[in-house]
Structure 1
Amino acid sequence: MTESFIVGVAKDALLSVITISGPILAISLGVGLLISIFQATTQIQEQTLTFVPKIIAVFISIIILGPWMLQTLVSFTQRMFDAIPLMVR
């Protein structure tokens, strides 16, 4: 197991995490921004108003993007299982 192999595995793992979490975080950020703009224009300063729409948006995005996220995780896991023989050298 060489240093370049370990760096490659770490890079692949981080890239997979960012690829999977990026769209959900972007959706949560967009909904939070829209709610903040709504609160600023209407001068409603209720703190719980931001959480419910964000939670609903995240759940909906997980339902919609779930198969793609699962496929990404399965392909990463398959690559890791395929790399097991390279780890014992």
Structure 2
Amino acid sequence: MPEEIFYDILRQGLWTAVVISAPILSVALIAGIAVGLFQALTSVQEMTLTFVPKALAMLVVFWVSMSFMSKSLVSFFSGQIIPLIAGF
């Protein structure tokens, strides 16, 4: 396999990973900022207060966007990886 094809597939795979992880990471960022702001305003320094809301928000977003993630991965593999393996 030529290097150009390898690097192009690698670039597309990394971009697919970024697109798939963006919803979860953005919700974690927003929840972290909201909890941090709440802690700063109320002077409550509880460790579980930072972890539980972020974990719950990420779990909900993962559950909602699971079909999008699956479709993205399946389309990447069926459109890029499997034809390379099969030699088409």
Structure-2-length-normalised TM-score: 0.93
Where in structure 2 are there 5+ consecutive unaligned residues? Answer: none
The DSSP-based 3-state class of the residue aligned with 1:50 is: helix
For 1:19, give the aligned amino acid.
V
Structure 1 CA distance, aligned partners of 2:50 and 2:71?
31
Structure 1 CA distance, aligned partners of 2:56 and 2:83?
38
Where in structure 1 are there 5+ consecutive unaligned residues? Answer: none
Paired residue for 1:82? 83
Structure 2 CA distance, aligned partners of 1:45 and 1:17?
34
For 2:24, give the aligned amino acid.
I
* 1:39, distance to aligned residue in structure 2 (A): 0.3
* 1:37, distance to aligned residue in structure 2 (A): 0.1
Q: Which has the higher contact order (CA 8 A, sep 6+)?
A: 1
For 1:78, give the aligned amino acid.
S
1:13-42 Cα deviation digits (max 9, x unpaired) = 100110101111010010010000000000
Kindly tell me the number of residue pairs found equivalent between the two proteins: 86
Structure-1-length-normalised TM-score: 0.92
* 1:57, distance to aligned residue in structure 2 (A): 0.3
The DSSP-based 3-state class of the residue aligned with 1:36 is: helix
Of stretches 30-39 and 73-82 in structure 1, the one that deviates more from structure 2 is: 73-82
Q: Which runs of 4+ in 1 moved over 6 A?
A: none
CA RMSD of aligned residues (A): 0.9
